Amino acid sequence: MKAVEVHEMEDSELGLKLKETRTELFNLRFRLATGQLDNPARIKDVKKDIARLQTEIRAREIRAAQEAQAS
């Protein structure tokens, strides 16, 4: 997932995608522990996606707070 894709998402989409990505990370870790994971590098990619989503959510929260304070 690219940062541009994250910026273009709606707030509700961000929350949903974050939940799905966390579930995917859990499943990848489970498969790693049981020895069924084919591509261990996928865990790193999913962690980065989670960080991108959380960063965008927080940036929007800060922006909304600043706008409310300025009004």
In the predicted model, is pLDDT for residue 19 greater than 90?
A: yes
Residue 1's pLDDT is: 82
Domain count, the chain: 1
CATH number for the domain harbouring residue 37:
1.10.287.310
What's the predicted TM-score (pTM) here? 0.92
pLDDT in tens, 20-70: 999 999 999 999 999 999 999 999 999 999 999 999 999 999 999 999 999
Residue 38's pLDDT is: 94
Domain hosting 47: range is 3-70
Pinpoint the alpha helices (H) of 1-71: 3-8, 11-33, 41-70
Cβ neighbourhood burial of 52 (10 Å; 0-12, 13-18, 19+)? buried
